[in-house]
Amino acid sequence: MKNTAVYPGSFDPPTNGHLDVIERASKIFPRLIVAVTDNQSKTPSYTLKERLTLLKSITKKYSGVKVEIFSGLLVHYLKKKNARILIRGLRAVSDFEYEFQLALMNRKLSPSTETVFLMPDEKYVYLSSRMVNEVARLGGNVGCFVPPEVRSRILKKCKHSNR
């Protein structure tokens, strides 16, 4: 489908920054697939099912947005979905080098693929899932960094690991 865009990532866990990018992308593309990676080489803090459930819950208000899991090469997944637009969030200059490599590698593997970079609101530019996890693990309040459903999940997880 010509106007389908795919927003891939680990979303471990999804943050307000991710949600901001999803909202922006959904205003541009009538169909958006938020694609959660099943990357076995990373050890995520949240299971694939947890991330899928959280993303479904926080995106249910957007009618054109679907959440799926993908494994293997992203360009193969795009082809399967008949999509050629990749969405990536770009926060700061520090993101650029990795994103630049990723976009050019994907373009090399699939020349018709275009990566569209969206900047989240500036209040989220410092935000990352890794930091949210660290703040939560050390007992800090993550309420202003993640949607309420994600916060509840994080709190449950922290309670269990403190037992």
89 binds ligand PNS (CB under 6 A): no
Q: Which residues 6+ apart lie within 8 Å of 62 measured at CB?
A: 22, 23, 26, 32
57 binds ligand PNS (CB under 6 A): no
Residue 80, exposed/middle/buried by CB under 10 A (0-12, 13-18, 19+)? exposed
Q: Shortest Cβ distance from residue 144 to ligand PNS (Å)?
A: 21
Question: Which tokens go with 118?
Answer: 């969206």
CA dist 118 and 99 (Å) reads: 12
In the complex, residue closest to ligand PNS by CB: 9
CA dist 63 and 130 (Å) reads: 29
Active-site entry in 51, 91, 151, 153: 91
Preceding amide of 14 cis, omega within 30: no
42 belongs to the catalytic site: yes
Q: Which stretch binds ligand PNS (CB under 6 A): 6-14, 54-62, 132-140, 155-163?
A: 6-14
Binds ligand PNS (CB under 6 A): choice among 2, 3, 105, 108: 105
76 belongs to the catalytic site: no
Question: Which tokens go with 125?
Answer: 């530019």
The interaxial angle of helices 148-161 and 129-137, nearest 10 deg, is 50
Active-site entry in 18, 31, 81, 153: 18
104 binds ligand PNS (CB under 6 A): no
Q: Shortest Cβ distance from residue 149 to ligand PNS (Å)?
A: 19
Q: Which helix (H) or strand (E) holds 53?
A: helix 48-59
Q: Which stretch binds ligand PNS (CB under 6 A): 2-10, 22-30, 59-67, 132-140?
A: 2-10
Residue ranges that bind ligand PNS, judged by CB under 6 A: 8-10, 37, 39, 73-74, 102, 105
